[in-house]
């Protein structure tokens, strides 16, 4: 998916246009030897899907590299700026050269362009993105304000990703592997103890909690840090998490409004919110239609049963 149209800073096209681009005298893109190009050691993306890379390699072998990579001149050859997947695929395909545009970028611009390229393609996991922001802030004197303008992300977005680097390494690895999502990991920052964060993370993965349920779990852990250490936790939490919460979600989808279930020992109640008289009419109509459907289903079942026993 191309996110260039969603305001990602100046974007790659703008960055290329505002920086002097060196080309041959005839104005053509250069074909550079692959072994003269080295990878960017500050490339934000560190995880590459081997299957997808092999598929791209097959395409490159058949059609060649259709979009040039970006490089800059260094002391010995060239350093890759953008297009590492194409660069790797070309090597796998056995190509000796690759089309390239040579740009006059400094080290900070190299990292910016590599970050923007991956953000536009949604290729970075949360930790890769966070580390790229941290690198630009720490090593190139960027502020969150200036970085926000360059990459087209809000300051709060950048701050939230940077905070993920405060989580234990094991939780960060879960984010890299995809076993935890950003929405599941972010609430864990509210827990002060790393050990409790790890325990909660394992529980979240095991029970596949949604982000909303994670927030609820974190609130309860703040009140009772020993909650997940109880032997009865699994038997107590599972019905609530898997039955009541799922029932709330189903009713919310049905009525198109907030629904809350309050289970009790002797009696329970369901709250269905509405905001206007028209809202209430719509909810009542939904209940009426559903009741009519259930009655019709029961009649159909009874009719089928009676037919089986008719002599």
Q: Which domain holds residue 75?
A: 4-123
| 119, 8: one domain | yes
Q: Backbone phi, then psi, for 7, in 5-degree steps?
A: 80, 40
pLDDT the model gives residue 201? 94
| 106, 189: one domain | no
H or E segment at 259?
strand 259-262
pLDDT the model gives residue 184? 92
| 102, 43: one domain | yes
Q: If we measure between CA atoms, which residue out of 133, 118, 85, 154 comes closest to residue 1?
A: 118
Of the residues 205, 229, 253, the one at which a domain ends = 229
Of the residues 67, 93, 123, the one at which a domain ends = 123
How many domains are there within the chain? Answer: 2
DSSP secondary structure letter of residue 186: G
Could you tell me the CATH number of the domain that includes residue 68? Answer: 3.90.1530.30
Tell me the C-alpha distance between 87 and 69, whole Å. Answer: 7
100 located within any domain: yes
Give the CA dihedral 111, 177, 88, 137, nearest 10 degrees.
10
Instruction: Output the tens digit of pLDDT for each of the chain's 311 residues.
Output: 333 333 333 333 433 333 333 344 333 578 888 888 887 776 666 666 677 778 778 888 877 877 788 888 887 888 888 777 788 888 888 888 888 888 777 777 776 676 666 665 556 788 888 887 887 787 767 788 887 877 777 888 888 999 999 999 999 999 988 899 888 999 999 998 999 999 999 999 988 888 888 999 999 899 888 888 864 444 444 545 557 777 777 788 787 788 888 776 667 788 888 888 887 888 888 888 777 777 777 677 666 656 655 54
22, 41, 84, 271: the catalytic one is 84
If you count them, how many residues does the chain have?
Answer: 311
Of the residues 212, 229, 246, the one at which a domain ends = 229
pLDDT the model gives residue 54? 81
Apex CA 143: angle with CA 139 and CA 146, to 5°?
115
pLDDT the model gives residue 23? 41
pLDDT the model gives residue 185? 93
138 located within any domain: no
Tell me the C-alpha distance between 143 and 158, whole Å. Answer: 11
Cα Rg of the chain (Å, integer)? 28
| 99, 8: one domain | yes
Three-class secondary structure of residue 203 per DSSP: helix
Percent of the chain with pLDDT strictly greater than 90: 13
Q: Which residues contact 300 (CB under 8 A, 6 or more apart)?
A: none
117 is catalytic: no
Q: If we measure between CA atoms, which residue out of 213, 196, 8 comes closest to residue 119?
A: 8
Tell me the C-alpha distance between 300 and 192, whole Å. Answer: 58
117 located within any domain: yes
144 located within any domain: no
């Amino acid at each position: 998916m191309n996110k260039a149209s969603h305001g990602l800073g100046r974007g790659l096209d703008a960055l290329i246009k505002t920086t002097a681009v060196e080309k041959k005298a005839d104005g053509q893109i250069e074909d550079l030897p692959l072994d003269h190009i080295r990878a960017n050691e500050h490339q934000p993306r560190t995880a590459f899907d081997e299957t997808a890379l092999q598929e791209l390699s097959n395409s490159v072998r058949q059609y060649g590299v259709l979009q040039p990579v970006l490089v800059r001149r260094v002391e010995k050859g060239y350093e890759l700026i953008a297009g590492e997947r194409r660069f790797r695929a070309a090597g796998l395909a056995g190509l000796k050269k690759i089309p390239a545009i040579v740009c006059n970028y400094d080290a900070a611009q190299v990292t910016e362009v590599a970050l923007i390229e991956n953000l536009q393609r949604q290729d970075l996991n949360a930790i890769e993105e966070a580390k790229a922001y941290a690198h630009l802030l720490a090593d190139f004197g960027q502020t969150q304000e200036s970085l926000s303008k360059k990459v087209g992300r809000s300051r709060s977005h950048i701050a939230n990703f940077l905070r993920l680097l405060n989580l234990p390494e094991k939780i960060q690895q879960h984010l890299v592997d995809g076993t935890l999502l950003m929405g599941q990991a972010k609430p864990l920052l509210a827990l002060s103890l790393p050990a409790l964060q790890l325990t909660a993370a394992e529980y979240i993965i095991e029970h596949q909690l949604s982000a909303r349920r994670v927030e609820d779990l974190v609130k309860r852990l703040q009140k009772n840090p020993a909650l997940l250490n109880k032997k009865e936790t699994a038997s107590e939490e599972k019905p609530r998490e898997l039955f009541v919460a799922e029932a709330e979600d189903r009713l919310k989808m049905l009525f198109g409004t907030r629904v809350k279930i309050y289970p009790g020992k002797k009696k329970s109640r369901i709250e269905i919110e509405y905001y206007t008289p028209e809202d209430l009419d719509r909810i009542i109509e939904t209940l009426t239609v559903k009741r009519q459907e259930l009655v019709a289903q029961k009649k159909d079942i009874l009719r089928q049963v009676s037919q089986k026993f008719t002599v």
